[in-house]
Amino acid sequence: MARTSLDKNRIGFLLLENVHESAVAELAAAGYDQVTCLPEALPEDELIARLADARFLGIRSRTRVTRRVIEASPRLVAVGCFCIGTDQVDLAAASDHGVAVFNAPFSNTRSVAELVVAEAILLLRGVPARNVGCHRGAWLKSARDAHESRGKTLGIVGYGAIGSQVSVLAEALGMHVVYHDIEPKLPLGNALALSNLDAVLATSDVVTLHVPDTPETRGLIGAAELARMRPGAVLLNASRGTVVDLDALADALRGGHLAGAAVDVFPAEPRSPGDEFTSPLRGLDNALLTPHIGGSTVEAQANIGGEVARKLVMYSDNGTTTASVNFPEVALPGHPGAHRLLHVHRNVPGILSRINGVFSAGGINVSAQYLQTRDRLGYVVVDCDAASSEAALQELRDIEGTLRCRVLF
């Protein structure tokens, strides 16, 4: 097991918001047992007070890691977001102060893909309206407008992590898959890339949206796009609430142009379970509505705990920053026999030569060096003689522009 300059029992982790126990298990397996778990998010002042003792912070979506929090926490090494989004962290402030931020972008990909495929089948069979009918005492037993998924065309808008998983699962059902993405993407299986959104809308029996929230995707599907969909087609949105104009969708469902829709994400979502959910889609029997649960499964939560904890351990143990949200990405090998110095600095001219100057002036043997920059951050890793690392650490810390510096034994 890699050793760090601090004994592991002096490296504190603060995990908030009921982070999954898989995270604690992962940390324990790596030798970290100074882990404080709290069920709730902490307000700014309390968070700052708690971070006086912690070097690693784990949060979910409700904790705000503001610039003030980061500036008041000089010991903070990294923040792990045990979720997908990182909007809750002031990433610019984290970069300004050399704090690495990690998240779990793929942990719930499969969960979303499964829900989408299940909903596509239910919509093709007209199950939502028949379900509501039964609850009201109606018996809508008929094969009318009920279809198998086999042989139908599924159009995927956004062929990223989730879109491409949906593609694989849908082909297993015998669906033809077409997709549109603004970037070139390798088609999986027999999926066919189409050159624009309209081509997907015009050819698909089921259209499913898997794009991020960007200025280009806001309002991507409005009345005009819905009109270009095939009569009797169905639309699914489990991406972001801003992507679809819900008034236009409600009209298309009421007017019968679309046979159904499944919507998991909304432009305005209730902030807490007690708040009322309002939407133009409420009351439409052929709209399958879910409260933003696409990625919410027990498996996804467990995956997130393990994935983010592993990233924090890797960064703590050997300096690896692969898949960091804001940091220069470096995948580092082990450093047997050498001490490893990690130097995070402002990405300004001259720092690298000053770092190298520390080693040449001190006659310190360097066995490996790694450098990576990203935007305003530079990250230099130097493996050197064990006997000289402490002295080098002091000098590296004095270099102007240094943000964080530590040594791993």
- Check residue 256 for interaction with ligand NAI (CB under 6 A): no
Question: Which residues have C-beta within 8 Å of that of residue 60, sequence separation ≥ 6?
Answer: 16, 17, 18, 19, 41, 81, 82, 83
Residues 223-242 that bind ligand NAI (CB under 6 A): 238-240
Q: Is 338 within 8 Å of 383 (Cβ atoms)?
A: yes
106, burial (CB in 10 Å: exposed 0-12, middle 13-18, buried 19+): middle
Considering the complex, state which of residue 178 and residue 265 has its C-beta at the smaller distance from ligand NAI: 265
- Alpha helix segments (H runs only) across 285-388: 298-318, 351-361
CA–CA distances in Å: residue 114 to residues 108, 119, 121, 173, 295: 10, 9, 11, 12, 9
Candidates 50, 68, 257, 292; catalytic one: 292
Nearer to ligand NAI, 184 or 363 (CB): 184
Rounded Cα gap, residues 376 and 348, in angstroms: 8
Task: Report in angstroms how near the CB of residue 290 gets to ligand NAI at its nearest.
Answer: 8
> Considering beta carbons, is residue 257 or 292 the nearer one to ligand NAI?
292
DSSP state of 343: E
Question: Rounded to whole angstroms, how far apart are CA atoms 217 and 224?
Answer: 15
- The answer to whether 114 is a known catalytic residue is no
How many helices, marked H, and strands, marked E, lie in the chain? 13, 16
List binders of ligand NAI among 55-74 (CB under 6 A).
none
Scanning residues 187 to 216, which ones bind ligand NAI (CB under 6 A)? 210-214, 216
Least Cβ distance, residue 121 to ligand NAI (angstroms): 18
Count the neighbouring beta carbons within 10 Å of the beta carbon of residue 39. Answer: 8
Binding to ligand NAI by CB under 6 A, coded x per residue (else -) over 138-177, reads: -------------------xxxxxxx--------------
Write phi, then psi, for 57 (nearest 5 degrees).
Answer: -120, 130
Buried b (16+ CB within 10 A) or exposed e, 198-214: ebbbebbbbbbbbbeee
Least separation in angstroms between CB 232 and ligand NAI: 24
Q: Assess whether 180 carries a catalytic annotation.
A: no
* Distance in Å, CB of 409 to ligand NAI, minimum: 38
Active site residue 75: no
| Separation between Cα atoms, residue 175 and residue 343, nearest integer Å | 52
Q: Binding ligand NAI by CB under 6 A: which of 1, 136, 141, 183?
A: 183
Please give the backbone phi and psi of residue 115, each rounded to the nearest 5 degrees, phi first.
Answer: -60, -45
Nearest to 236, CA basis, from 193, 198, 288: 288
Q: How far is the CB of 273 from ligand NAI (least distance, A)?
A: 16
E strands, 269-392, are: 287-289, 339-346, 366-374, 377-384
Out of 94, 178, 263, 265, the residue judged to bind ligand NAI by CB under 6 A: 265
Catalytic residue among 40, 148, 216, 269: 269
**Residue of 292, 354, 374, 376 that binds ligand NAI (CB under 6 A):** 292
**Residue nearer to ligand NAI on the CB measure, 212 or 350:** 212
The reply on whether position 83 binds ligand NAI by CB under 6 A is no
Residue 217 is a binding residue for ligand NAI (CB under 6 A): yes
User: CB of residue 184 vs ligand NAI: minimum separation in angstroms?
Assistant: 9
Active-site choice (240, 310, 340, 406): 240
**Residue whose CB is less far from ligand NAI, 160 or 232:** 160
By annotation, the residues acting in catalysis are 240, 269, 292
Catalog residues that contact ligand NAI under the rule CB under 6 A.
Answer: 84, 108-109, 112, 157-163, 180-183, 185, 210-214, 216-217, 238-240, 264-265, 292, 294-295
